[in-house]
Structure 1
Amino acid sequence: MKEYPTKDIAEIVGISAQKVRSYAQALEKAGYAITRNDRGFRIFTDNDVPLFQEMKKQSSETGMNVGEIALTLLKDQNNHSEPVNSEAVTPMQNEVTTPDLPQIEDDRYQLLLDEINTLKQLIEKQQKYIDDRIEQQRDLKYIELLRKSQEVKKADLELAASQEKEKKKGFFSRFFNI
């Protein structure tokens, strides 16, 4: 018996791969067992092709949802005593086991915590850089103000010295500018 992946069934039946997945989910919910490979992907057989073709036909003709169509088709098959699928006897063996969900959540939580800590370190580094730059600019402005203050004091001292020199000159030298 030939096996087909989802995309091949989609081409054979003339529907999209997404529609094949939708039909397959509806059939599985209705009790139809679809074989899965070791990676958990659905594998379809020649027996599945007519079922998908009929689902496509009824979907376009009746307008029923795929869940109702799947139930109707499987009920009709059971009434005609046709085997639904050879794998239907043991549906549990076809189910893919998922890893422990709490462990996955713990791993995701830890990953998020690590990412938060990395971002926190980055923010602290940026804040230190900003603080250092502000401190440097403050220091430069302080030095500039000190220089201006010293220049003003120097000018005041020179003015005071010249005024003192003027006072020491005699009356005639000041009067005649000698």
Structure 2
Amino acid sequence: MNSSKYTTADFAELVEVSKASVKNYVTILEDCGYVVVRDHRNYRQFTDRDVDIFKALIALSKERGLKLKEAAQVVVAPGFKPESVAPQPVLEVARYEDLCQSMELLAGHVYGIEQQNEQLLTLIQAQRQQNELLMTQNNTLKQELGSMMQHLVEKANEPSAMHQQQLDRVEMQNNAIMNVINSLRVEQREQVIEEKPPEKGIFARMMNK
């Protein structure tokens, strides 16, 4: 027989539940035929066997989804072995809190990244629209430049009226200069002829000897 005896308070600490929960579980177990030893004052005295049964009951209820009455019927059944219900490992509170905090930080970091991605996508879209606008303006400028170049070529091949007038004016000036030059040449030739003495005849030359 088990020699260890536990009060309700000590038993509650062993199975890691409140005293009220212990009384609730005991009532359900006793309704299913389970017997908890009592002392001469009719107080319950829990044993190591009770610890194993309660842990199995809690594991079946909380970890495997059975209702308390269903779990109680399982653990009080003949031949039930508490060790057949292995409780899931319980994380320490501090580790659990650290894990929760880490998950919150990670979630905040992920949210920040998502916000940055949305801003980046917005900037990319704006840059794409700006590039499309610049390409449209560039094509328009190319077309205007091509039209302007074609117009200049056509104007270069066809002299304008002002250009023709300038050519005519230059030609008239050249003609006037040539006329002046020709007149000067004629005057110089006439002057030379007037200044040249007449040549003497043969008889005159003989007389002068």
Q: TM-score, normalised by structure 2?
A: 0.35
Higher relative contact order (CA 8 A, sep 6+): 1
Higher percent of residues as strand: 1
